[in-house]
Amino acid sequence: MVLQSLKNCLWLSCILRTPKACFWSTASGGLIIQSVSNDVYQNLAVEDWIHDHMDLEKQQILFLWRNSPAVVIGRHQNPWQECNLRLLRQKNIKLARRRSGGGTVYHDLGNINLTFFTTRKKYERMGNLKLVVKALKALRPQLDVHVTDRYDILLDKQYKISGTAAKLGRTNAYHHCTLLCNADKFVLSSVLKSPYKGLKSNATPSVPASVKNLFEADASLTSEMLLDAIAKEYAVQHHINHHITLINPADETLFPGISNKTKELQTWEWVYGKTPKFSISTCVNMAYKDSVFDIKVNMDVKHGRIEVCNIDLPEQWLPPGLYSELVKSLTGSKFCPNETTTLVTTLLRMCPQDDELYNRWSLLCENIIRLM
């Protein structure tokens, strides 16, 4: 198999200490690479690296990648608005923020990602998507797939099987898209539904769509077949050999500096802190002993941190000193359940130890933390 022989070639060149000519070769007008990693952060870091460091004048690149379960939000989106963060945490599904614009998507191994790297001048999304459709039709002529003017690919004229996003820099640009082959639609729909109410934000909203897997149209299709078909079509259109080179995103010799990019993509400051300013205005229903009442909660969150915090409690429900300590602690803290839990439990240490107070405090704090 072509894939295998190239793998050996790379390995061999390592041993012989010859330049990896077969890899970054500029002899041809294009290069097709595929990641061996399923880590969303590592793969996004590869995109960043190529975008920042490579000269794409003579050579365009097609990057093929798949991720283990992850939700990927667009550069300017609000994760609280886009997905069920509680569910993500429970199910250990990663959350990543990519550098391109667009909406939120769910990745798992049944979804393939394609990134088309070109110079900024040669940036052209429609052409790329038409290439994908051509490849699909070549593989299975009976598939009813077409590209819309919103840069989506639809199956059977109504189901979205691919979403698109792009990033443009000074000299380079990339256009990437997803392609649903055999993803878990159940998990997809449950994680992409936000339970958070009362959010007001100018972040880019996602446009929900009905999705379908290509597997549902033709059960003989696999991710590997699709990757191969698309690579083949790309090779034809770029007049290059149909070789897919495997790359390891953790390889610092191939991508000097990539581990820093990978780390940055995982920081809280990037994933949550880059959320455009938003506010929460909601009523929390509290049931305590024999009474049931609503408390109004208003918060402004900037850079993922609580800028302003207002909790409308009934008078004297909590000792006033404690209430103001709570507001003071929350202000400036991350809008994050873990950090809030730490702060509120610490504050409780400072109080008179009485069960009544403890119960009220716990009830209030649990409800506040649920908003995050």
Q: Which residues, in sequence order, are bridge partners of residue 30?
A: 60
Using CB under 8 A, pick the residue from 8, 220, 253, 316 that binds another protein: 253
Nearer to another protein, 219 or 324 (CB): 324
Beta strands of the chain (E only): which ranges? Answer: 30-35, 60-65, 70-73, 94-97, 105-107, 111-119, 145-147, 153-155, 159-162, 164-168, 172-180, 199-201, 245-247, 278-288, 291-302, 305-312
Nearer to another protein, 149 or 315 (CB): 149
**161 vs 125, 144, 192, 343, CA distance in Å?**
16, 11, 16, 44
Using CB under 8 A, pick the residue from 165, 181, 211, 311 that binds another protein: 165
52 binds another protein (CB under 8 A): yes
Q: Are 39 and 109 in contact (CB under 8 A)?
A: no
26 binds another protein (CB under 8 A): yes
Site for another protein in 70-89 (CB under 8 A): 74-76, 89
Site for another protein in 325-354 (CB under 8 A): 329, 332-334, 337-339, 341-350, 352-353
CB of 304 vs another protein, minimal distance in Å: 11
359 binds another protein (CB under 8 A): no
Q: Residue 318 has which token pair?
A: 């909590």
Q: Residue 35 has which token pair?
A: 């990641």
24 binds another protein (CB under 8 A): yes
- Which segment (35-43, 101-109, 237-245, 290-298) binds another protein by CB under 8 A? 101-109
For the chain, the 3-state helix, strand and coil shares in percent, each to the nearest 5, are 35, 25, 40
185 binds another protein (CB under 8 A): no
Site for another protein in 221-250 (CB under 8 A): none
204 binds another protein (CB under 8 A): yes
Nearer to another protein, 222 or 367 (CB): 367
263 binds another protein (CB under 8 A): no
Q: Where are the alpha helices (DSSP H) in 152-277?
A: 185-191, 214-217, 223-238, 258-266, 268-271
Nearer to another protein, 160 or 274 (CB): 274
Nearer to another protein, 139 or 192 (CB): 192
Distance from C-alpha of 9 to C-alpha of 1, rounded to nearest angstrom:
13
**3 vs 32, 35, 131, CA distance in Å?**
11, 12, 22
- Which segment (68-76, 105-113, 222-230, 291-299) binds another protein by CB under 8 A? 68-76
117: amino acid identity, one letter: F
Nearer to another protein, 87 or 236 (CB): 87
CB of 139 vs another protein, minimal distance in Å: 26
H/E segment holding residue 325: helix 320-330
Q: Are 232 and 191 in contact (CB under 8 A)?
A: no
Using CB under 8 A, pick the residue from 6, 7, 9, 13 that binds another protein: 13
